[in-house]
Amino acid sequence: ILMFEIKDYSSIYDSIMQFNKNKTVSIHQWYPFVEGYSKEFIESILEEIDYIPENVLEPFSGSGTTALELQFKNINCTSFEVSPFMHLLSSVKLYNNYSSETFNNVLNDFKEILINLPRRIRKIRKVEKVPFGRTVIKSDNLKKWNFNDESLDGILDIKYAISFIEDEAYKNLFKIILASILLEVSNLFRNGKCLSYKKDWQTREIYKRKDVHNLLLSKIENVIKNDIATLENILITTEVDNYNRLHFGDVRTSILNVPNNSVDLIITSPPYLNSRDYTDIYMLELKVLDLINNYEELSSLRKNTVRSHVQVKHGELNELDVPTLKSYLKKVSQKDVALWNNDLINMIKGYFLDMNHLFEQFKRVMEPEKFIYFNVANSAYFNEEIKVDQIISEIAIVHGFELIEIRKARNLKSSSQQSGSIKNLRESVIVFKS
């Protein structure tokens, strides 16, 4: 097994590896994305490398931070996203043709429909369907439900008003504004790997139909309007259009369309190997925005994601011939532990098979002597740490990359199942040279 030196960069990276810093930054703040890094991370990379990149690749767009920040800096960025919600979010933030005048016209028409709705249509569900899913609203055989009736009617009012927006770009923008208030008006909160019910969800004050409207309109007045005006000024100096370089689909197949030797920098953060299914975490957005309409579509989306969770049965998979991974799998095979899910071992194997495929493609698409900044975190299962950063480094070396550094960014808490033996897990930024 190769011995790797881990350099401690936590004093530099600790705060900038979290999206928190973007919560009050123009455009980035349109939707509170938990899993991303901040724009400062992108800036730190551009300051560090000794060339100005012309064509950056971001294989996992997420909320679009990388491509958006590079667009502001007039740098081309090709990005991929498999989640229809994340793809919509990225595209709305990357669209660079908004104008205050058009926005205000759209907003005035939207408001007129919304304000008059409760008088005109008393039963909104006759014109706007309830989102797909068994637990969306209260029914006799349910103990818990996602939305109270009043809140859902307010959401359906907004959807109905959005349906009259003719310009697709503004229609999508309003959908993302709606998405940004969904958790607040629901009975749920994002709890690490899943959605959980708020502690006092049954007794807390219910959002009335009008309250939901007002929450959305307040966000538009206090956040979106100013950002559109700011964006108008920024766009005067922006010549790059990363909106049209954002591709919808599974990066494992989409990357095959990227030409050889066409990329001079890769910045990305793939899903971590923490059995977190992003389809679950963003289920409300997917359902309410009609991005998923039945269980078949849900299953299909899960199959197209990197194998970092156990929601899909992967079948018996081959083991990648990488020393640190083989050592880990050998250790856990000798343990007598009850698995919380029998597909865990195959998920681990599948994850690194996916990473291996990506690095094979990275080698093909990259120009020589250029850099990759790869943000990952280690994991723990069966009370044994998986050194994800080291395994990925070994994979990259096999494909001909030079490992510059494994940088410790910060410590993440391990899951409650593992915390007895492993308190913290390292989050890293790995730097490679092609």
18-41 residue pLDDT tens: 655 555 567 888 987 766 677 889
**CB-based burial of residue 88 (10 Å sphere; 0-12 exposed, 13-18 middle, 19+ buried)?**
buried
Q: Is the pLDDT of residue 342 over 70?
A: no
Lowest mean pLDDT among 26-35, 109-118, 163-172, 191-200: 26-35
- What residue type is 67 in one-letter code? A
Distances (CA, A) of 73 to 27, 34, 102: 15, 24, 25
243-252 residue pLDDT tens: 999 999 999 9
Structure tokens at 9: 């960069």
What sign has the CA pseudo-torsion 81, 85, 90, 94? positive
At 355, phi and psi to the nearest 5? Answer: -65, -40
80-91 residue pLDDT tens: 999 999 999 999
Q: Cα–chain-centroid distance for residue 261?
A: 27
Average pLDDT score over the chain: 89
291-327 residue pLDDT tens: 999 989 888 888 888 876 666 677 778 899 999 999 9
